[in-house]
Structures are given as structure tokens and as C-alpha cells.
Chain A
Amino acid sequence: MQAFDYIAPKSVDEAISALAAGGEKARPLSGGTDLIAQLQEGRRGLETVVDVKRIPELMEISISADGLKLGAAVSCHTINANQAVRDAYPALIDSTHLIGGTQIQGRASIGGNLCNSSPAADAIPNLVVHNVSCHIAGPNGRRTVAVEDFCTGPGQNVLENGEFLVSLTFPKPPPNFGAAYLRFIPRNEMDIAVVGAGASVILSDDKETIQSARVSLGAVAPTPLLVQEAGDVLAGQPISEETLNKAADLAKAAARPINDMRGTIAQRKHLSGVLTQRALRIAIDRARGAKTVDELGRLNGHGE
């Protein structure tokens, strides 16, 4: 590996100074499952690696009346072990079980997944359907960005030089809320999504009508997509094959995939519709009280 300095600041302010001092040749290190692999390949001419895992705010995972505050560097393993989070944020848990294998989950963070900004990143559609806000710190102070506005292109995002992601906040799920994330890969484990789809719904009290919904797709455009129109078409509609099909068709239309070694445009378009439907169904089942991942997770490969 190329030579670089390693700094492990203990506060957000120290990290800002270290990143500012290093300029374009400095980068934050969270779990390293993307960054260290990239450094091994010599893909980044870095001079400074700023390990953010010693900063308490980046390692925080706490649920309050407002919702979940998730430090940017918290590992999937830590999230998976938190029963309160498992119960409240099922689509998040779908993602944290899908990212890599067990040992990748021991290190990989949701913040790192977002900041790496791959179009196929498995965490991002779940963050979109959970309505997450991204809290950023930098030399000019703090700011907050809606997650659907965070990525700007493959590997690109809104972070300016010297800025880094501190935490993500997930609003408290309203009553009758359910969410899910699914991906298609050609084998059972350890692969990159050909297409990923996230969905969340809020149902009426009798659980027969969809009050509002959000749909998000991964790996079908330069950035993960919020498919606003697919959510809008479901608002106020009864739960039926027909309404779900309408949303699936809109998701299919919104997908702008490319041909590559993982899949063709036609296959990805088709999958966008199929996975949107399926993710919506799981989200609805969960909103109707199906145990979160612990019962329905098997649909997603984690569980028998």
C-alpha cells in the first residue's frame, strides 16, 4: 500500500482540522471495507487517513422520542445486535444483513456505505424510504441534507472539501408503518446488487388503505433514486394488486439503467418493477404487524 499518515481524532472539531489540513489528499476512514480495499489497489493518492471511529458522536446509536440517531461510523454488526432498532427500522436491518458477509458487517458502517456513494450501495434505498436526514460537519459549520439529495453521481456526493458525515437521523416511525429493502443478485450471498428496491408505507388504522408510501431504487441510475411518483400513486389507495402494479410500473419507468457485466437494461427494468412490488408487499405485511426481519427476513435470505 502507498504510504500515508494515520490520525484518529477524538472530537468532531479535531477531525475537521485534520481533514482541512490534509485537503484533497485526506479522507475519513470508517470501517475501511471500501476505503482500505481502494488503498490496496492504489486507487486513491491519499496522504492522510482520518479514522473517525474514536469520535463518540460517530459511534452513537440511540433511540429517543424523535427517532433513531445513528453515528456515521456505527457498524452493521452493532446495528444488528440492537433489538429496539430491529423492531422500529426493518428496512435498515434488511440492508445491514445484506452488506457483505459476517466479517464485513463487523466493520462496514451505514455512513461509509452512503459516503462511498455507489449507485448499487445496499444501504441507501433503505435510508431513502426511512426518510433519513444526513448531518454534516465541516470548516464552515454544520448542515443537514435529505438523504435523497446526498449522492450526486457514481462515487460522488454533496460533501465539500473538509466536510464529513457525522450522523444520520431516522424519524420515529408513525403508527401503521412498515418498510423493506430487497435486492436481486445471481447467487445467495456476497454479491453486488443488479437492482435494489426499498419501500415504506403508512397504512390507515384499519390497515386496508395506503396513506402514503415511498419507493427507492438502487443500481438503475448514476445515483440511488427516490421514485416520488411511485409513492404518490399509492397515496390514498386501497391495498390491491392493481394499485401495487401501478407503482411497480412507475418504478420501472423511472429506472434508467445501463448494460454491464451484472445485467442488461431490459433485465434491470424488469427487476425494478418486480422488486418494487415485492418490497411494497413486505412493507405492507410489516405495517400490518408481521414481525419485522425476524419472521419475514427469510424472504430476504437472512433466516431459514
Chain B
Amino acid sequence: MANKTAVETTLNGEETTFLCEPRQTLLEALRDELGLIGSKEGCGNGNCGACNVLLDGVLVNSCLVLAPEIEGRSVVTIEGIAEDGELHPLQQKFLEHASLQCGICTPGFIVSSKALLDENPNPTEHDVRLWLAGNLCRCTGYDKIVRAVLDVAQNNA
């Protein structure tokens, strides 16, 4: 039991193969096997959103996915959000609005916000707050985060 298995996946657009144990979560595989430490572990049980990634384009908690589940699937992490060395507009607006303090929640908020804007480019403030209800931040009080997301959406309009 629990020999390492090889998992083939598309990670941030690139074909990737890695070894993992079935008991490792996707979050653990990303951080410990693949060196992608942008996704954070806040709670490890689905409550904080710091580990959020896109799995086949759908927002999920990577701490509640087993690493072997991503065989043949596509995963986008915070490391895959910027394109060609340019910050994604969300990253830019988070900086402009000072939407982070300690920053541990930020990768999760940016990945979640990207998933929102991919599905709904013009959300209301209520839509943003509801969508981000599963992302916790103990520093900012959320307001600056919501403003940054709405600012990006404004530019979509």
C-alpha cells in the first residue's frame, strides 16, 4: 500500500508528470513535490480558501483534492495567473488597492476572483462578496479586496 504513483497532468498550461502518494492532497503535491508554494495552507479542511486552484477551470480547494485525482486533468494555480511576465489585472489592482497585509490569503483570493470574472465579467458588489464567502482574511477586513475585484470588473465593462 501507499507506493508512490506517477500522475500526469497539465499544470499551468504545461504537461507535467510527478510522483505522489495517494494520501497526499493536491495542495501537498503542489507545495512539497512540485515546489509551487504559492498556494497556501490556512486550515487544511476546506474552510479558508487559501489553497484555491482551478481544476479543469472550476474553483476548488486543493486541500480537499487527492493528488492522484488530477491525472489527465488541468490545474491552474496562482503561479499560472500572470501571463508572459505581466501581472494579471487582479494582481495589479490588489497592489493598487492595498488589498493585502500579511498576504497569506491573497493567492486564494486572486484565484477565486479570477474564477468569478471568468464566469461573470460584470459582477455586482453582492456577487463578489457572495462568491468570496469561502475565502477568509484575518487582516484586511475584506473591503479593499472587494474594491480591487470590482475595479477590474469595471474595466471589463
Contacts and interface: CB of A to CB of B under 8 A. Distances in A.
A100 B45 CA distance: 12
A31 B65 CA distance: 8
A1 B133 CA distance: 27
A20 B105 CA distance: 42
A303 B131 CA distance: 11
Contact of A304 (B5, B66, B124): B124
Given A8-B71, A107-B65, A304-B126, A102 B115 contact: yes
A75 B65 CA distance: 14
Interface in B67-105: 68-69, 71
Nearest to A302: B130
B2 A36 contact: no
Interface stretch (B8-16, B32-40, B54-62, B149-157): B54-62
Nearest to B5: A6
Contact of B21 (A3, A53, A77, A304): A3
Interface residues of A, number: 36
B66 A6 contact: yes
A32 B134 contact: no
Interface string A207-246: 0000000000000000000000000000000000000000
Contacts of B46: 33, 37, 100, 103-104
Contact of B59 (A8, A36, A103): A103
B64 A188 contact: no
A173 interface: no
Contact of B134 (A36, A41, A100): A100
Q: Top 5 nearest A-B pairs by Cβ distance? A: A101-B134, A6-B22, A3-B2, A189-B133, A1-B23
Given A4-B22, A39-B23, A102-B132, 9 more contacts: A6-B5, A33-B64, A47-B1, A101-B135, A106-B58, A189-B130, A190-B133, A301-B130, A304-B126
Interface of A: 1-6, 8, 29, 31-33, 36-37, 39-41, 47, 49, 51, 53, 75, 77, 100-104, 106-107, 188-190, 301-304
